[in-house]
Amino acid sequence: MKAADLHTPVLLDRCIELLEPAVSVPGAAVIDATLGMGGHSEALLERFPDLHVIGIDRDPDAIRLAGERLARFSDRVTFVHETYDGIDAALEAAGRKRVQGVLFDLGVSSLQLDAAERGFAYSRDAPLDMRMDQTGDVTAASILAAQSASELARMFRDYGDEKLAKRYADAIVSARAVEPLETSAQLVQVLQDATPAKLKNAGHPAKRVFQALRIAVNQELDVLAAALPAALSALDQGGRIVVMAYQSHEDRMVKRVLRDASTSTAPVDLPVDLPQFAPDFYLLTRGAEVADEQEQQRNPRSIPARLRAAERVRDERSHA
């Protein structure tokens, strides 16, 4: 099956609209830091015939499928097998010092979610893998086997906002003493058995635990914490960054980084805001934007998306 058949890009028109003023200039380049199956990159390459895309993905399968999808643009695409904090490596691979746009479409991709054997979906039995890059060593099963109850509970709280974190962690430690937890069906059963009867109809008990495990396996928040500053530094004057986040921890981090970059650094008691304290970036969105009702109905995976964007209005090199 082709990548285009597997993946519908989220908030595609809005992403293009926000990036257009920056990436429509001759010789422009954009980093698609979460290439996935290439849906956003394909639209950008079609819309802007002089644009070069630098596509980053940690998943070799994604790079292969995106490569097939973007084959007709082969002279205008550079593929980089990296986590999305590998901005410097991507720039070097493309022979660029700066770019005019950066796009992040965070979270698990359709490719990974729909491949049952990857273990991302709690609705289908599969090995507890959850690696976005299957060359890595850490899996969901290895985390469940090695971490203490307190470590598991903290992970479920911090990465999944799970209110029953301690209860679930204790249940997992008890269950693994009997047999290793190696499949999603095993884990789901443990969680269902540990859920109080009065809460069994309050959403699937595995949803937040699986999210927390996925984030931990792939170190997603650590990668994002390094990726956002690197992306801002990679932008040329007038360059734009667009970020779509799908869970609250990611969105809070994006909000904080873009807010800080667009805030004056002048001392609070300074009577005049001097030029050297002016922010390097300007926010292009008021709060987080969401997909409209039509898109949410057409593509349910757009429902949790939260989009934020900013433009570099001052070159940091001018006051280094």
Whether residue 261 has pLDDT greater than 50: yes
Lowest mean pLDDT among 74-78, 212-216, 275-279: 275-279
Domains along the sequence of the chain with CATH: 3-111+220-319 (3.40.50.150), 118-218 (1.10.150.170)
- Token pair 């960054």: residue: 241
| Binding site as annotated, residues for S-adenosyl-L-methionine | 38-40, 57, 84, 105, 112
Q: Residue 320 has what pLDDT?
A: 38
Average pLDDT, the chain: 91
The pLDDT tens digits of the residues spanning 295-314 come to: 999 999 899 999 999 999 98
pLDDT at 271: 67
| pLDDT value of residue 316 | 58
**What is the rounded distance in angstroms from the CA atom of residue 190 to the CA atom of residue 172?**
7
Distance CA 92, CA 51 (A): 17
Proportion of the chain above pLDDT 90, given as a percent = 77
| pLDDT reported for residue 283 | 98
Of 70 and 203, the structure prediction assigns the larger pLDDT to 70
* pLDDT attached to residue 110: 64
Mean pLDDT of the 86-105 span: 97
The pair of three-digit structure tokens given for residue 285, joined into one six-digit string = 């969105």
**Where is the binding site, in residues?**
38-40, 57, 84, 105, 112
Q: pLDDT tens digit string along 262-300?
A: 997 777 766 666 677 789 999 999 999 999 999 999 999
The stretch 236-245 carries a mean pLDDT of 97
Question: Quick one: pLDDT band at residue 89, thresholds 50, 70, 90?
Answer: very high
Helical H runs in 26-181?
39-47, 60-69, 87-94, 110-114, 140-146, 149-160, 165-176
Q: What is the pLDDT of residues 110-163, one digit of tens each?
A: 666 666 666 677 878 899 999 988 888 899 999 999 999 999 999 999 999 999
- Residue 277 vs residues 60, 92, 237, 318: alpha-carbon distances, Å: 43, 31, 17, 12
pLDDT at residue 8, rounded to an integer: 81
- What's the pLDDT score for residue 147? 97
User: To 10 degrees, what angle do helices 220-234 and 87-94 make?
Assistant: 50
